[in-house]
Amino acid sequence: MINPRLVKTPMLLILLLFSLQTGATSVLPVSLQRMSTTAETIFHGTALGNEVRLDPTSGRVATYTTFNVSEVIKGDPGTTHTIKQIGGQLPGSNVRQLIHGVPQFAVGREYVVFLPKASSLGFASPIGLSQGKFDIRKLDGQAIVTNGRALAAMTKAPQQQALPNLPSAVEAGQLPDQPAGVQLTDFLQTVRGMVRE
């Protein structure tokens, strides 16, 4: 007969580890204002490539994404900029480390990226993980920016007041409270205004 305590202990450990892992990537909503003021680097660019390899500094699996920088909003990323994020799958191997919430970038796609200062090991995921990664899509010939969150909610201060220098559609409350986008030029102008504040 199997001792019930021997079965319960490993199960409790597994549940505890699972809850720690999922809790480790829980992120609170971050406003556009906060992202703009706390980011060390903000740029608009195109993802040129993703390379997954073992990071020599940390010994962990890391994904290196290189961007062609079209426009600098804050910081000095250079004409190309590479970010190192934890996780990925080593090519030709079963070694895989996936971290829930760490954003991925598709090669050839355009983004506006809000980055914090890199950690002492050189890792720098976007602020608020996927919140600091804005996809740029074409809609009726217009470049539209979105990150899957309700843009109207992101542009409100904690007191739920509209911030200065916002696109007129946001100020007028015309953006629905659902994932929406705004024109790239308006978005970049808004972020520049927030950076200057």
Residues paired with 88 in a beta bridge: 97
Best-predicted range by mean pLDDT among 25-39, 77-91, 138-152? 77-91
168 pLDDT above the threshold of 50: no
Q: Distance of CA 152 to CAs 42, 66, 127, 156, 172, Å?
A: 20, 30, 18, 7, 10
What radius of gyration do the chain's Cα atoms show? 20
pLDDT attached to residue 56: 92
Give tens-digit pLDDT for 104-151: 999 999 999 999 999 999 999 999 989 999 999 988 889 999 887 655
154 pLDDT above the threshold of 70: no
Q: Please report which helix (H) or strand (E) contains residue 135, including its range.
A: strand 133-139
pLDDT attached to residue 197: 81
**CA-CA-CA-CA dihedral for 76, 162, 175, 102, to nearest 10:** 40
| Residues 20-49, mean pLDDT to the nearest whole number | 82
Rounded distance, CA 100 to CA 24, Å? 9
Give tens-digit pLDDT for 53-68: 999 999 999 999 999 9
Q: Percentage of the chain surpassing pLDDT 90?
A: 55
pLDDT attached to residue 192: 95
- pLDDT-based confidence at residue 47 (cuts at 50, 70, 90): very high
pLDDT attached to residue 5: 54
Q: Please report which helix (H) or strand (E) contains residue 9, including its range.
A: helix 4-24
pTM: 0.74
